[in-house]
C-alpha cells in the first residue's frame, strides 16, 4: 500500500514537472510548483525519509543542472574587432624554442572593446592581451608566445579571444613545423 502511494506521488511530481517545463511560461511556473511543494512537504512530514530528494523542493540538488551565468562579454554593449591577420605560420622552428608573434587589431565598432579573456589551445601557446578597454577606432595587440617543448612535426594551435563582440569568441591560429633537435 505504501509503495503504491509513493509511486502515485512520484507520478504527480513528474507530471507537474513536465507541465511546468513544457506548457507554462516562467511567470506561471511558481503557481504550479507551489502546490506540489506543499503536497511533498506534507507527505514528507508524515513519512520522514519516504521520498527521494526532489528538484522542486530541493533546488540545490547536485544532480539538477544549474543555469549558467552569462559572461560579462554577453551582457555588455557589443562592438566589433578587425585583426590585421587571423593566422600566423612560424615556419620551421626548433624544439624547446620560444616563438613570439604579435596580432594587431582595431576596434571597428562604436563601443569600447573589452577583452575578457584570451586562452591558448594548450599550455604551449600563451597569449597576453590588453586589460584596459580599447576605444572605438583605436588599435591594440595580442602577443602570442608558442613554446613547442618536445612536440615535433606540423603543429596547429589556436588562441580564443573572448570579448564584447559578435560573435563573443574570435579564434586566431598559429602553425609551425617543429624540427627535432638532436644533441
pLDDT tens-digit series, residues 89-103: 999 999 999 999 999
Query: What is the pLDDT, as a whole number, of residue 125?
Result: 96
C-beta separation of 90 from 176 below 8 A: yes
- Return the pLDDT at 69: 55
Alpha-helical runs (H) found in the chain: 2-22, 26-46, 72-75
Between residues 164 and 6, which one has the greater pLDDT? 164
pLDDT of residue 32: 40
Look-up: residue for cell 583605436? Answer: 138
Q: 79: which residues sit within 8 A by CB, 6+ positions away?
A: 107, 108, 109, 110, 111, 112, 113, 136, 164, 165
41 pLDDT band, cuts 50/70/90, is very low
> Is residue 104's pLDDT more than 50?
yes
Which among 162, 157, 158 is positioned nearest to 117, based on CA atoms? 162
In CATH, the number for domain 72-179 is: 2.60.40.10
Cis before residue 97, ω within 30 degrees of 0? Answer: no
Residue 108 confidence (pLDDT):
97
| Per-residue pLDDT at 73 exceeds 70 | no
| Contacting residues for 142 by C-beta, under 8 A, at least 6 apart | 102, 103, 105, 115, 118, 127, 128, 129, 130, 159, 161, 172
pLDDT band, residue 8 (cuts 50/70/90): confident
Inter-residue contact 93 to 152 (CB < 8 Å): no
More confident residue, 80 or 181: 80
What is the pLDDT of the chain when averaged over all its residues?
79
What pLDDT is stored for residue 13 in this prediction?
A: 78
Residue 47 confidence class, pLDDT cut points 50, 70, 90: very low
Q: Is the pLDDT of residue 24 over 80?
A: no
9 pLDDT more than 90: no
Residue whose C-alpha is closest to residue 180's, from 144, 145, 155: 155
Q: Determine contact, residues 43/51, Cβ cutoff 8 Å.
A: yes
Whether residue 27 is predicted with pLDDT greater than 70 in this model: the reply is: no
Mean pLDDT, to the nearest integer, of 51-80?
A: 59
Cross-strand pairs, 79? 165
Q: Which sequence spans correspond to the domains of the chain?
A: 1-67, 72-179
Whole-structure pTM over 0.85, yes or no? Answer: no
Amino acid at each position: 500500500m505504501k509503495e503504491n502511494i509513493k509511486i502515485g506521488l512520484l507520478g504527480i511530481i513528474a507530471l507537474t514537472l513536465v507541465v511546468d517545463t513544457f506548457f507554462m511560461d516562467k511567470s506561471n511556473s511558481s503557481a504550479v510548483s507551489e502546490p506540489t511543494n506543499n503536497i511533498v512537504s506534507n507527505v514528507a512530514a508524515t513519512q520522514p525519509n519516504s521520498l527521494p530528494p526532489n528538484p522542486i523542493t530541493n533546488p540545490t540538488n547536485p544532480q539538477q543542472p544549474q543555469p549558467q551565468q552569462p559572461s560579462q562579454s554577453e551582457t555588455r554593449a557589443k562592438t566589433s574587432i578587425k585583426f590585421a591577420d587571423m593566422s600566423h605560420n612560424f615556419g620551421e622552428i626548433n624544439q624547446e624554442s620560444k616563438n613570439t608573434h604579435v596580432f594587431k587589431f582595431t576596434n571597428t565598432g562604436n563601443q569600447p572593446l573589452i577583452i575578457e579573456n584570451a586562452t591558448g589551445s594548450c599550455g604551449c601557446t600563451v597569449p597576453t592581451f590588453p586589460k584596459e578597454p580599447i576605444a572605438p577606432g583605436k588599435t591594440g595587440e595580442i602577443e602570442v608566445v608558442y613554446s613547442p617543448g618536445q612536440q615535433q612535426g606540423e603543429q596547429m594551435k589556436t588562441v580564443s579571444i573572448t570579448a564584447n563582440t559578435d560573435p563573443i569568441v574570435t579564434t586566431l591560429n598559429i602553425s609551425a613545423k617543429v624540427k627535432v633537435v638532436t644533441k
